[in-house]
Chains A and B, each alone.
Chain A
Amino acid sequence: GAVVSQHPSWVICKSGTSVKIECRSLDFQATTMFWYRQFPKQSLMLMATSNEGSKATYEQGVEKDKFLINHASLTLSTLTVTSAHPEDSSFYICSARKDSTGNTIYFGEGSWLTVV
């Protein structure tokens, strides 16, 4: 199947700093990528939908100035957590949509963020 790569897998950063997470579709072009966050023992919560060449669509309650999303090419989307705080510590997962049916959505391996 298609492959989505996410980097880094693990990151520890100091409170107040910014962290960038990359999501790449390795063998297909993804016009849409999705960013999710998952806290321990909770489900995946959609943060935003990233469309290539346009602004991301954020879900209600997600601060767009804090979680900066850039989808500069058909194979790369980035999520930057700005001025990170301990409560931002979570599992961040991206997914990429391969075509228009919705049947082919592939997930990256996820990134564990710990803010100390």
Chain B
Amino acid sequence: RKEVEQDPGPFNVPEGATVAFNCTYSNSASQSFFWYRQDCRKEPKLLMSVYSSGNEDGRFTAQLNRASQYISLLIRDSKLSDSATYLCAVFKAAGNKLTFGGGTRVLVKP
């Protein structure tokens, strides 16, 4: 089993709609969680950190469920510019490494 798993998609989303997707992780010792956005042939850019209490940044909401070992990302009022691959990442201080999921591709269409 992969350490961090995501549904690869693609999620085809009408402009203005809401889309949500999850990321599961296998190591309960994982400490920090992140969502990154990666555009085609570019480096990942940090979208947001994920906190236990859940957090929101504009149209983006991230949640962490430690009991079930998953994080989620919800995008409201989708824009065409939201089309990208969304990578979740899990950090373990003990191993000092940031491990990525395979990414979820989102395509927002007019």
Q: A residues within 8 Å of B by Cβ?
A: 32, 34, 36, 42-44, 46, 49, 57, 91, 93, 95, 100-103, 105-110, 112
Contacts and interface: CB of A to CB of B under 8 A. Distances in A.
Interface in B52-110: 87, 91, 93, 96-103
Nearest to A59: B97
A100 B49 CA distance: 15
Contacts of B91: 102, 105
Given A43-B87, A44-B87, A102-B32, A107 B44 contact: yes
Given A93-B43, A109-B43, A43 B100 contact: yes
> Binding site of A, secondary structure by majority: helix, strand, loop or mixed?
strand
Interface residues of B, number: 20
A49 B93 CA distance: 13
A34 B43 contact: no
Contacts of A43: 87, 100-103
A28 to B, nearest CB: 15
A70 B42 CA distance: 24
Nearest to A32: B96
B87 A34 contact: no
A34 B98 contact: yes
Residue among A93, A102, A106 with max Cβ neighbours from chain B (10 Å): A102
B109 to A, nearest CB: 20
A105 B96 CA distance: 11
Contacts of B99: 46
B24 to A, nearest CB: 14
Contacts of A95: 98
Contacts of B32: 101-103
A18 to B, nearest CB: 23
Interface in B17-64: 31-32, 41-46, 49
